Amino acid sequence: MIITAIRTRVVEFPLARSFQPAWARGRNQPSLVMVLIEMQSDTGLVGIGAAHAGLEAAISIERFVAPYYLGRDPAQVEQLASVMRDAEILGPPLYCMEIPLWDLLGKAAAMPVFRLWGACRDRVPVYCATAEVREPAVRADDVERLVAAGYRAVKLRFHADDPKDDVPVVEAVRARLGKVVDVIVDANQAGVEPGLDGHRVWGRRRAAEIGAELERMGVLWLEEPLPRHDHDGLRRLRESLDTLKIAGGEDNHGLHEFRLLVDRGCYDILQPDALLSEGVFQMRKVAAVAEAARVEIVPHTWGNGIGMLANLHLAAAVPNCPQIEFPHEPDSGFTAAARDQMLVRPLSIDADGCLPLPDLPGFGFELDEERIERYTTHTFETSLSSSDERLVSARHPVN
């Protein structure tokens, strides 16, 4: 089998309601932007993937990846992984380009990818990752409904205007629901998205104070309490705590960086993402480094259902992954249904709060072609017969 063409489509799905993620203060996110990747082969099979990015990723794929993938055997994943790593020197991270390779290989083998990789389980517990800052009573209502819907764990954001207002949100959830739900807190301090309204930056002292408070309330983990390269600060914080775990890694890149995080004792839980941090199979190596150090891996995922499914296969195929992130902010523009609107049907949890793996070849992506076509803004295609990159079409977003 060889790769004969790569087509990328920039798709901008409008969000039906307001969505104000905590990590980009003061900004309403009006749409879900992704790049759909289709990798054609001489067998007729097509590998699917997606980037959690827009036009910049599509252009970079055409320039820095497609010329080196065309004509190659998609089974040579370890050779092609070096193309992705080199591409990051020149443009945005393109680790997502390993996903269509494995989708092709799974389809060729007529097996789901997680089974090719040694399936530890065929469903994975999720935690519901909320995204907005909400008043304590409102968030307690949200969590009560989420628990009724089957979620066993919920992640909250700490980004209130006054940091003193963050802790009462956890207190309100505990007061309403006791310990029936695991509570996770994300501080999003590892990397800062340029916001319109400034960022609430924590220092080591604040991270230690909040950590002690959360430990007292039995919170499961504190995510990204400090910048992603503050290895000493993270290690000291982790060592100062007893039951509260420290998690992070979604903004770190490359196997070598995750090894450093493990060696420096920064985290109890690593959170790489198959669209942002490393190739989806390379993340198995991250998981192995973590396993040897008795560190857990809980993949980060955000942005779109294709990424959710790719990370889910990784989660099901490694022994040290207790759960996976499931982005869903109730009563907002970014629900699970909005996240998965490029799929024929949104992913949903079972009665035990777990996400089942699809029993389909490859990653099991079933695309809503009509919807994707409607909201496509740009299409690029490179093929063996026309190896020059070319923009096939561009049009303004349809709202």
Q: Which residues bind Mg ion (CB under 5 A)?
A: 186, 223
Nearer to Mg ion by Cβ, of 81 and 226: the residue is 226
Nearer to Mg ion by Cβ, of 223 and 268: the residue is 223
Q: CB of residue 223 vs Mg ion: minimum separation in angstroms?
A: 5
Alpha-carbon separation of residue 66 from 41, 57, 352 (angstroms): 13, 12, 42
Nearer to Mg ion by Cβ, of 223 and 296: the residue is 223
Lookup result for tokens 């990328």: 8
Element (H, E) at 140: helix 136-148
Which residue in 258, 261, 262, 348 sits closest to 312, CA to CA? 348
Nearer to Mg ion by Cβ, of 252 and 320: the residue is 252
Which residue in 135, 117, 141, 155 sits closest to 326, CA to CA? 155
Nearer to Mg ion by Cβ, of 182 and 186: the residue is 186
Nearer to Mg ion by Cβ, of 103 and 223: the residue is 223
Alpha-carbon separation of residue 249 from 197, 301, 308 (angstroms): 25, 12, 17
Q: CB of residue 275 vs Mg ion: minimum separation in angstroms?
A: 14
Q: CB of residue 187 vs Mg ion: minimum separation in angstroms?
A: 9
* Whole-number Å distance between alpha carbons of 176 and 53: 38
Note the maximum CA span of the chain.
Answer: 64
Backbone φ and ψ for 361, nearest 5 degrees, come out as -65, 150
DSSP 295: -
Q: CB of residue 51 vs Mg ion: minimum separation in angstroms?
A: 18
Q: Return the number of other C-beta atoms located less than 10 Å from residue 70's C-beta.
A: 19
Nearer to Mg ion by Cβ, of 64 and 158: the residue is 158
Lookup result for tokens 């999720």: 126
β-pairing, 153-157 with 182-186?
parallel
Which residue in 47, 40, 61 sits closest to 113, CA to CA? 47
Nearer to Mg ion by Cβ, of 12 and 224: the residue is 224
Q: CB of residue 155 vs Mg ion: minimum separation in angstroms?
A: 8
Q: CB of residue 184 vs Mg ion: minimum separation in angstroms?
A: 9
Amino acid occupying residue 298: V
Alpha-carbon separation of residue 339 from 4, 32, 204, 242 (angstroms): 30, 8, 34, 35
Q: CB of residue 374 vs Mg ion: minimum separation in angstroms?
A: 31
Nearer to Mg ion by Cβ, of 12 and 250: the residue is 250
Q: CB of residue 354 vs Mg ion: minimum separation in angstroms?
A: 21
Q: Closest residue (Cβ) to Mg ion?
A: 186
Residues in contact with 5: Cβ distance below 8 Å, sequence separation at least 6, in sequence order? 39, 40, 70, 381, 382, 383, 384
Q: Return the number of other C-beta atoms located less than 10 Å from residue 344's C-beta.
A: 12
Q: CB of residue 324 vs Mg ion: minimum separation in angstroms?
A: 13
Nearer to Mg ion by Cβ, of 166 and 186: the residue is 186
DSSP labels, 75-110: T-HHHHHHHHHHHHHHSS--GGGGHHHHHHHHHHHT
Q: CB of residue 109 vs Mg ion: minimum separation in angstroms?
A: 33
